[in-house]
Amino acid sequence: MFKKVLIANRGEITCRVAATLHEMGIRTVAVYSEADRGALHTRVCDEARWIGAAEARESYLNIDAVVSAARESGADAVHPGFGFLAENAAFAEAVAAAGLTFIGPTPAQIRAMGDKREARRLADAAGVPIVPGAEGADAKALVRAANAMGYPVIIKAALGGGGKGMQSAHDAKHLAEAIEAAQRVAASAFGDESVYVEKLLEHARHVEVQVLGDGKGRAVHVFERDCTLQRRHQKVVEEAPAPTLTADQRAIVTHAAVRLAEAVKYRGAGTIETLITREGHVYFLEMNTRLQVEHPVTELVSGIDLVRAQIEIAATGELPFEQHEIKRHGHAIEARLYAEDAANNFLPQVGVASRVRWPDGPFVRVDSGVESGDAVGVHYDPMLAKIIAYAPTREAAIERLLGALDDTRVHGVVTNLPFLRALLRAPAVRSGSYDTEWVEREFLAGFAALMRAPAPDLALAAVAIAEASGAPLSKPTANGAAPAIDPFAQLGRWRQAGLAE
């Protein structure tokens, strides 16, 4: 087993990976950019190494700097987290060339699945149905292909993942503009401006299957997640199991995922993303060759630590368990807390999260990357934390998550907390009747109206009294007590309750 692992990432996922490494008795090395000096992820690791300037290209995307840090620290393996270099084959190669173990798939697998055309060919060969699409650097050719397949279409970075730069277009004119924008984001985020155009399947649900492979042709699945609640192709709420999946559909997607993973002799943890249409047809979207942001919901329903599984596979080349040993109980649901202003077109926010309190009740898990006083900067993804709740049923899990969000307090930087609370109270979410476009098509207008409601007079009174008594009135506390009295539970007309009458 490894003695020391460098985590080539930042924020909450570095903290998450470090927690498992520490539990396994493995020492941890963090890396940080100039902007992340003193950040939480550097404090939770045993040591931390500076790798460059704030801009990601100079630091977290800088292969030489990260590999040098790994070598100099004496680490014997590198965990890439997600985002940044996690799906960069050259990075995986550089790690191996330095004599270290890359905790993840082989460079060839990363390359194959990172190339949409190759991924589609592999999926097709494994018997997984694929969506019509086209790839290339020539915008005009892509527009022609889209004209032929029919609108709407969706544009993705060919080498990307995680929804970065993804946009939909409903006609040729917007497609041309969207391709150009996607190419720039792709170039800056992935170092390659190739984009990919695919027919947008409407009224579909996003269901993905977690797989683990031993790299020798054996693979298991750890059931599925539903990530249908999205805004601008960014997942906001994820859950396991998928609430609308029939037993037949579950069998189809999980078997297809295992078939694909075994066909490519997949190594480590990966996710096969699919869209399931209203008619019940399953289409392969892509395979993510890394840990997913939303992996905790799978961990909670299966009891499997996916990071530990990744590490064990990397160290031993064996699957830690057989398919029949993987069981699923209850329901888990996750909400992504972002520093963005839901009342103002979800603009990313920067500032200092001067007072942060995370919820802590039973069966509530928080994977966070900030504490009170931490800066939230312009350079990286604005996700602050994931708040996850587990319960025997979906209904109870949603209730528990809402309670956890009530106990979540981030002051100093505006967050999407009001959006999450309103979303989880929406009747369509409760009943599970929505698709990947539902948030934008049906939820946002009503939510915007809620957000336009004035703050209660009492909020103004509280501010004025705080000012009169001399600010700052209260000391920042990392973990203040929950309010003892909540007279507002019944005051539904207030905007943030989302308790629209």
Whether the Cβ atoms of residue 367 and residue 293 lie closer than 8 Å to each other: no
- The number of angstroms, rounded, from the C-alpha of 106 to the middle of its chain's C-alpha atoms is 22
Whether the Cβ atoms of residue 19 and residue 12 lie closer than 8 Å to each other: no
Q: Which of 232, 255, 229, 231 is nearest to 242 (CA)?
A: 229
Q: Which of 290, 205, 203 is nearest to 242 (CA)?
A: 205
Query: Restricting to residues 78-117, which ones interact with another protein according to CB under 8 A?
Result: none
Query: Restricting to residues 9-28, which ones interact with another protein according to CB under 8 A?
Result: none
DSSP character string of 72-141: HHT-SEEE--SSTTTT-HHHHHHHHHTT-EESSS-HHHHHHHHSHHHHHHHHHHTT--B--EEEES-HHH
Out of 34, 406, 440, 442, name the contact with another protein by CB under 8 A.
406
User: Does 188 contact another protein by CB under 8 A?
Assistant: yes
Out of 320, 411, 432, 440, name the contact with another protein by CB under 8 A.
411
CB of 416 to another protein, least distance (A): 11
User: Does 185 contact another protein by CB under 8 A?
Assistant: yes
Query: Restricting to residues 456-475, which ones interact with another protein according to CB under 8 A?
Result: 456-469, 471-475
Whether the Cβ atoms of residue 58 and residue 52 lie closer than 8 Å to each other: yes
Q: Which of 296, 373, 377, 330 is nearest to 36 (CA)?
A: 377
Kindly write out the interface string for residues 135-174 of this chain, putting x where it contacts another protein by CB under 8 A and - elsewhere.
Answer: ---------------------------xxxx---------
Is 48 in a helix, a strand, or coil?
strand
> Active-site residue among 290, 365, 400, 421?
290
Radius of gyration, CA atoms only, the chain: 22
Kindly write out the interface string for residues 338-377 of this chain, putting x where it contacts another protein by CB under 8 A and - elsewhere.
Answer: ---x-xx--xxxxxx-xx----------------------
Angle, helices 89-97 vs 63-73, to 10°: value is 30
Query: Restricting to residues 432-451, which ones interact with another protein according to CB under 8 A?
Result: 451
Query: Restricting to residues 251-290, which ones interact with another protein according to CB under 8 A?
Result: none
CB of 47 to another protein, least distance (A): 28
Is 290 tagged catalytic? yes
CB of 361 to another protein, least distance (A): 13
Out of 25, 247, 489, 501, name the contact with another protein by CB under 8 A.
489
Long-range contacts of 125-128 (CB under 8 A, 24+ apart): 125/263, 126/256, 126/259, 126/260, 126/263, 127/256, 127/259, 128/256, 128/257, 128/259, 128/260, 128/272, 128/274, 128/282, 128/284
CB of 223 to another protein, least distance (A): 28
Cβ closest to another protein, residue 165 vs residue 270 = 165
Cβ closest to another protein, residue 240 vs residue 451 = 451
Whether the Cβ atoms of residue 337 and residue 401 lie closer than 8 Å to each other: no
Angle, helices 107-114 vs 89-97, to 10°: value is 170
Cβ atoms within 10 Å, residue 267:
24
Specify the stretch interacting with another protein by CB under 8 A; choose among 5-13, 32-40, 275-283, 406-414: 406-414
CB of 18 to another protein, least distance (A): 23
Query: Restricting to residues 225-254, which ones interact with another protein according to CB under 8 A?
Result: 232, 234
User: Does 454 contact another protein by CB under 8 A?
Assistant: yes
CB of 423 to another protein, least distance (A): 16
User: Does 382 contact another protein by CB under 8 A?
Assistant: yes
- Please give the structure tokens belonging to residue 239: 């859950």
Whether the Cβ atoms of residue 341 and residue 419 lie closer than 8 Å to each other: no
CB of 13 to another protein, least distance (A): 15
How many positions of this chain bind another protein (CB under 8 A)?
A: 75
Out of 184, 278, 327, 441, name the contact with another protein by CB under 8 A.
184
CB of 420 to another protein, least distance (A): 12
CA distance 21 to 389: 23
Specify the stretch interacting with another protein by CB under 8 A; choose among 4-12, 137-145, 277-285, 336-344: 336-344
Cβ closest to another protein, residue 71 vs residue 425 = 425
Specify the stretch interacting with another protein by CB under 8 A; choose among 40-48, 177-185, 239-247, 439-447: 177-185
Cβ closest to another protein, residue 320 vs residue 377 = 377
CB of 483 to another protein, least distance (A): 4
Out of 58, 250, 480, 500, name the contact with another protein by CB under 8 A.
480
CA distance 158 to 64: 24
Q: Side by side, which strands form the sheet with 219-231?
A: 282-288, 267-276, 205-214, 219-231, 234-240, 331-338, 383-391, 364-368
Catalytic residue numbers read 290
